Amino acid sequence: MALPLPRLSKPLEAAFFCLFKAVVSKHLKGNKRLYIKFSERNCARIRDLKYLGNDQLGLFFEYLNDLDHHHQLFINWSPQREEDIEKEDMSDCFVEFRPDSIEQIRQWFPELDQLYERHSWSDRVLQSEFSGNKDVLARRPLEITGYDSQEVITRLSRIPELLQQNAMTTTELSAVLFDGHAKHLTHRDWLCRLFPEYEERILPRKIIMNVWLPDDLDYVLLIENQDAFFKLVDLNPPCALVFSAGYKGASQRLWEPSLCQFFFAGQLEQRNRFISSWFEQCMTLYFWGDLDFAGLDMLALMNQKYRAKVNAWQPGYQLLRDQIEAGKGIAADVYQQITGKAQNRKISATGDPWADEQLLQYLQSHQSFVQQETVLSLLNLSHFDKTGEGR
């Protein structure tokens, strides 16, 4: 009976997983020798191994020794001496796995079965009569409940026939191909790479934006979250409010009249002026989102994709920063658990110098975050003026 892996710390478990993944990948490629050398280049590939400290590195090789003793995993391996294990330079270290060790490894890490599924998918695609770009399809397994891989490939092959009859969105194609299920095909770029000659027939989906219009259209404030949007609507501020709905507000489709549909509330007589100014991109634009790296990433993307410059709305962001300075921010690890947003985005600049200096650098040094909803009760008309800079 196979023994389980010893109880490992998370860094060690991650290092073993990456090592075994590299071995299984070699096995699937048909390599006769399952040989891994712990060179600097390979340690970069087995990325979790290079993060181990010297003490953990010693444990890593100690566990390798134990695993080989109990399971005879290796044909040969080094180091096998304690003094070699302690060396920082691992360029002479290696393991060569026995071919029959693969099944044991798969029992320890069932997640590695995904590699076999991907390999099986790739073989089926390349051996099929799929009418599109086989290389693109082979690199991305498409698992759909109720359909085996061959059936999925066969149905995808019908896309050119359908597009010759009618131009369709991805959701329309999905519904027709997969018995009414509209969400199986959602990535237009991927479908266009599968069938590049039909790109113009694969229609982009329209984007819907909600806008509140004031009496005077002095500037526009884009707002990340719904509750913050409605709170500001209740204040009747001197600016147009756009609910940007997270990353949707950074979509290029917002600036294409055929792909963007606005729904208005407030002073509807300003509607035509807003639409013409919006698509001409001649408005003064501000953005207010959560004070976290995801929110600042949205601002950066807006400034990359919009022709008009977008600045951070200083009054709202200052309220959020005040929360962190008062000790009411949320630490990065807890924040990720609460929001589901990983705060690991590498943002060098947002496109707004004030946001870079006062917000981005501040978050990078404090690693504490706060959401818009925290300060909604503090907002009032004194935070608005005719320019958007606040008072």
60 close to 93: Cβ distance less than 8 angstroms: no
Residue 82 is predicted with a pLDDT of 47
Residues in the chain: 391
Q: Phi, psi (5° rounding) for residue 144?
A: -125, 120
Q: Where are the domains of the chain?
A: 10-108, 113-203, 209-383
Residues of the chain with pLDDT under 70: 1-6, 39-55, 77-92, 115-118, 340-345, 386-391
242 close to 251: Cβ distance less than 8 angstroms: no
Structure tokens, 17: 């997983």
Sign of the dihedral through C-alpha 297, 302, 305, 308? negative
Structure tokens, 297: 């990433």
Beta strand pairing status for 34-37 and 94-97? antiparallel
Q: Which amino acid is at 204?
A: P
Measure the CA–CA gap between 11 and 106, rounded to whole angstroms. Answer: 19
Strand ranges in 234-284 using DSSP code E only, listed in sequence order: 240-243, 260-266
Show Cβ contacts of residue 31 under 8 Å, excluding neighbours closer than 6 positions.
none
- Vertex 282, ends 285 and 222: CA angle to 5°? 20
Residue 87, Cβ density class (10 Å: 0-12 exposed, 13-18 middle, ≥19 buried): middle
- Vertex 375, ends 372 and 381: CA angle to 5°? 105
Helix, strand, coil % (nearest 5) of the chain? Answer: 50, 15, 35
**Per-residue pLDDT tens over the stretch 248-276:** 999 988 988 989 999 999 999 999 999 99
Neighbours of 245 (CB within 10 A): 18
Measure the CA–CA gap between 287 and 311, rounded to whole angstroms. Answer: 6
**What is the pTM assigned to this prediction?**
0.65
Q: Which helix (H) or strand (E) element contains residue 55?
A: helix 54-71
Structure tokens, 4: 């389980």
- Domain 10-108 sits in CATH 3.30.1360: no
Q: Phi, psi (5° rounding) for residue 222?
A: -90, 135
CATH of domain 209-383: 3.40.1360
Structure tokens, 347: 């943002």
Q: Which helix (H) or strand (E) element contains residue 312?
A: strand 310-312
Measure the CA–CA gap between 288 and 350, rounded to whole angstroms. Answer: 13
Sign of the dihedral through C-alpha 378, 384, 388, 390? negative
**C-alpha 56: how far from its chain's center?**
30
SS3 call for 124? helix
